[in-house]
Structures are given as structure tokens and as C-alpha cells.
């Protein structure tokens, strides 16, 4: 769970390591399905007025040593008018195949 003020427009989560063969599908505004060879991961926004941005600037998320690629997940917070901050909560669920 993260506390974000209205001055923040977005919050970058730690990127997901992108293994060969992984697929990403955003099912709805707050849910992302990440499928790998042996398990699936579901990222879901539980509360907060946010928009989920996934894969933006994906080509920039790689490191030569160790040889890693990553998939970025960004939460774009829509500031509430009545309060200067809001609580945004999210869940990662791992399901084995």
C-alpha cells in the first residue's frame, strides 16, 4: 500500500522481471495478468482513483549485467478534489499452473 499526495501524477512500481515467453494483458483499468511458463501473476488495484499504465518505455528497462529485461508498471493517480492526498492499495497474486 502506498500513500500518494495530489502533487504526484504517477508512481513507478518496481518493474517485473521479463523472462522469455512471458505475456502481459491488461484485462480492465486496474488489473494486469502476467503469464509465464509455470505461473501467472495478477496485479490488481484494490482502492484509489488511478489509471494503470503498463509497458510504457519498455525498451528502456534492461540491464547488461546481469542480463535482465523488465516490464514497467505505473500507477497514474487522479487527484481527488476534496482532499490533498489519497490512499492507493494494490495486490500481487501468484497462481501456479
Tell me what pLDDT residue 29 has. 63
> What 3-state class would DSSP assign to 63?
strand
CA distances from 9 to 29, 38, 82, 85 (A): 17, 35, 16, 12
Report CA dihedral (80, 24, 33, 6) to the nearest 10 degrees: -10
Q: Identify whether the C-beta of residue 48 lies closer than 8 Å to the C-beta of residue 89.
A: yes
Residue ranges of the chain with pLDDT lower than 70?
1-9, 29, 97
Is 41 exposed, middle or buried, given 0-12, 13-18 or 19+ CB atoms closer than 10 A? Answer: middle
Q: Which residue range forms the structural domain that includes residue 63?
A: 2-96
Quote the number of domains for the chain.
1
Question: What is the dihedral sign for C-alpha 47, 49, 1, 84?
Answer: negative
Tell me what pLDDT residue 8 has. 46
> What 3-state class would DSSP assign to 59?
helix
Amino acid at each position: 500500500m502506498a500513500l500518494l499526495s495530489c502533487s504526484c501524477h504517477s508512481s513507478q512500481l518496481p518493474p517485473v522481471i521479463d523472462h522469455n515467453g512471458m505475456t502481459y494483458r491488461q484485462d480492465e483499468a486496474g488489473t494486469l495478468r502476467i503469464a509465464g511458463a509455470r505461473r501467472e501473476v495478477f496485479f490488481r488495484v484494490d482502492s484509489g482513483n488511478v489509471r494503470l499504465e503498463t509497458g510504457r518505455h519498455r525498451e528502456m528497462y534492461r540491464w547488461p549485467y546481469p542480463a535482465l529485461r523488465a516490464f514497467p508498471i505505473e500507477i497514474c493517480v487522479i487527484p481527488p478534489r476534496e482532499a490533498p492526498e489519497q490512499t492507493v492499495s494494490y495486490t500481487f497474486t501468484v497462481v501456479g499452473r
